[in-house]
């Protein structure tokens, strides 16, 4: 049975342009797979969908269609811009006892000053959407909301049409057996600027030795050409099966799907309490338990990796000191082991100051030295000079927030952009004084592996 939980009708929102009404209505549904719900939108909403699941698998979010989009090209102001637009849009949305509010999902690009054209050309510096049909799965319960944001006064017919389509989508998702997809067939692959990448590691290392910077993260890409077009549900089904210990995300926009499986939390806010994580320093998994332990212990004691890690800890800690009333942080990193790789990991948390918000934390934290470098501005200049690509949403904040200020953003690493019958996979690593090109290259291969596997590849496995 689908139970009706809440309805707010006709909240007035005054924007600069017009008066918008934000209608939301939520029902509880008895059984639903998030992936089949995503798939149910294949006919009508391909290109306007999103998928999100947290690492703990306690919160899953799917969006079909766009009731409203918020974009910004305001450079450093894009975080404030999105925050203000979202506040204005939700100022009258009433929270119900189930805390099922409309959710805004999207991301901010890595670097607004990057002018390199390519697969990301035309993508806004911030892109967020409120779904027309929103599925939230929390604590084993599934809720489907419809959202209608319009300047029309009379919405009776429009809402009725949305309810009808909602029921059809749920029905399709519930009765359709989960498809098993064949892996995409790769026709060819290449590593753009491989030589330039290797040369840049030497150059950046020498810049660091000359004290021009302390740490700079340099990334590269891998391009795949498929035999035929690859669908979003296909690749999402692969990452859901293959990467259970990571944040899973997918965002369709401009006919492409940006997706990934990231182990790295940028920030989570729950009732004005903030959580972040320092993830930097890497080694592969071992073939045996013993080798895995040895590699892990080696990583914990490795000076080069500990220094990569410490820059991240120092910077995130500074942000918590400024934005939180107090904070907690362990004195030494632990190991974070995921399928293909192990990282040094230090969690940070603390109660936020009254004026702090999730998007202000995202703005202050991005890019952490795990993805940018130290000092930040210099590192960004070095990245622009030595990385001949545009990162787009790779290494950037991706996630969600609600109208109450709760939400979570991951760092969009272990990610790829799927564009019809092509894909671009991205990976990088933290360069410090004693980095070596060959081992950094190998580290990127390990980091490319999850997306490569999901896309039917098996290079270097
Ligand atoms: C840059 C990436 O990962 C980051 C760099 C790491 C490193 O250099 O050790 C480890 C984790 C991430 O913070 C990536 O996966 O592309
Ligand atoms: Mg590294």
Span 240-289, pLDDT tens digits: 999 999 999 999 998 999 999 999 999 999 999 999 999 999 999 999 99
How large a percentage of the chain has pLDDT more than 70? 93
In this prediction the ipTM stands at 0.99
What's the token pair of residue 68? 């409203």
| Measured distance CA(159)–CA(12) in Å, rounded | 16
> What integer is the mean pLDDT of 133-157?
92
pTM as predicted: 0.96
At 34, the pLDDT band (50, 70, 90 cuts) reads very high
At 10, the pLDDT band (50, 70, 90 cuts) reads very low
> What integer is the mean pLDDT of 194-204?
98
- Choosing from 368, 369, 447, 450 the residue with most ligand 1 atoms within 8 A of its CB, the one to mutate for a pocket test is 447
Residue nearest atom 2 in ligand 1 by C-alpha distance? 428
| Measured distance CA(384)–CA(400) in Å, rounded | 28
Nearest ligand, CA 316: 1
Q: Cα(242) to centroid of ligand 2, in Å?
A: 23
- Rounded to 5 degrees, φ, ψ at 29 are -115, 150
Question: For residue 17, is pLDDT > 70?
Answer: no
Q: Cα(17) to centroid of ligand 2, in Å?
A: 47
Nearest ligand, CA 369: 1
Residue nearest atom 16 in ligand 1 by C-alpha distance? 427
| Measured distance CA(422)–CA(263) in Å, rounded | 25
At 461, the pLDDT band (50, 70, 90 cuts) reads very low
Question: For residue 97, is pLDDT > 90?
Answer: no
> What integer is the mean pLDDT of 101-105?
93
Residue nearest atom 1 in ligand 1 by C-alpha distance? 428
Which residues are placed with Cβ below 5 angstroms of ligand 2, an ion?
282, 429-430
At 317, the pLDDT band (50, 70, 90 cuts) reads very high
Q: Which residues line ligand 1 (CB under 6 A)?
A: 217, 219, 264, 279-282, 308, 343, 370-371, 395, 413-414, 427-430, 447
**350-389 pLDDT, tens digit each:** 999 999 999 999 999 999 999 999 999 999 999 999 999 9
Report the Cα 411 to chain-centroid distance in Å: 5
| Measured distance CA(442)–CA(461) in Å, rounded | 12
Question: For residue 447, is pLDDT > 90?
Answer: yes
Nearest ligand, CA 445: 1
Q: Cα(408) to centroid of ligand 2, in Å?
A: 24
| Measured distance CA(30)–CA(238) in Å, rounded | 25
pLDDT of residue 179: 80
- The domains of the chain, with CATH numbers, are 3-175 (no CATH), 188-454 (3.60.120.10)
């Amino acid at each position: 049975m689908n139970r009706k939980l809440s309805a707010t009708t006709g909240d007035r929102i005054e924007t600069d342009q017009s008066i918008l009404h934000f209608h939301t209505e939520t029902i509880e549904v008895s059984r639903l797979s998030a992936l089949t719900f995503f798939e149910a939108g294949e006919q009508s909403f391909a290109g306007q969908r999103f998928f999100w699941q947290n690492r703990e698998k306690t919160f899953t979010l799917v969006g079909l269609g766009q009731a409203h989009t918020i974009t910004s090209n305001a450079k450093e102001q894009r975080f404030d811009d999105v925050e203000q637009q979202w506040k204005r849009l939700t100022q009258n949305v009433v929270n119900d006892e189930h805390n099922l509010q409309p959710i805004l999902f999207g991301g901010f690009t890595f670097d607004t000053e990057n002018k390199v054209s390519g697969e990301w050309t035309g993508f806004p510096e911030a892109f967020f959407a409120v779904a027309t049909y929103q599925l939230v799965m929390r604590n084993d319960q599934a809720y489907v909301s419809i959202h209608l944001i319009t300047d029309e006064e009379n919405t009776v017919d429009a809402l009725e049409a949305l309810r009808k389509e909602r029921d059809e989508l749920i029905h399709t998702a519930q009765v359709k057996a989960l498809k098993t997809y064949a892996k995409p067939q790769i026709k060819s692959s290449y590593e753009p600027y491989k030589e330039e990448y290797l040369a840049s590691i030497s150059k950046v290392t020498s810049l660091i030795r000359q004290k021009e910077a302390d740490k700079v993260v340099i990334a590269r890409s891998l391009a795949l050409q498929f035999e035929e077009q690859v669908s979003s549900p296909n690749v999402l089904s692969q990452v859901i099966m293959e990467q259970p210990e990571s944040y899973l995300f997918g965002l369709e926009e401009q006919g492409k799907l940006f997706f990934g499986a990231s182990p790295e939390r940028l920030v989570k806010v729950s009732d004005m309490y903030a959580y972040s994580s320092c993830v930097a320093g890497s080694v592969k998994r071992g073939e045996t338990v013993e080798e895995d332990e040895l590699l892990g212990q080696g990583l914990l004691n490795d000076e080069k990796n500990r220094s990569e890690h410490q820059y991240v800890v120092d910077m995130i800690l500074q942000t918590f000191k400024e934005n939180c009333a107090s904070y907690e942080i362990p004195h030494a990193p632990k190991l974070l082991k995921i399928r293909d790789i192990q990282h040094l990991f230090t969690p940070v948390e603390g109660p936020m100051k009254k004026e702090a918000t999730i998007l202000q934390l995202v703005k202050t934290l991005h890019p952490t030295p795990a993805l940018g470098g130290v000092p930040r501005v210099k590192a960004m200049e070095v990245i622009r000079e030595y990385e001949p690509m545009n990162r787009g949403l790779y290494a950037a904040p991706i996630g969600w927030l609600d109208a109450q200020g709760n939400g979570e953003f991951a760092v969009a690493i272990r990610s790829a952009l799927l564009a019809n019958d092509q894909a671009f996979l991205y990976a990088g690593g933290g360069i410090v004084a004693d980095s070596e090109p060959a081992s950094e290259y190998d580290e990127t291969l390990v980091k490319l592996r999850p997306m490569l596997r999901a896309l039917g590849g098996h290079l270097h496995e």
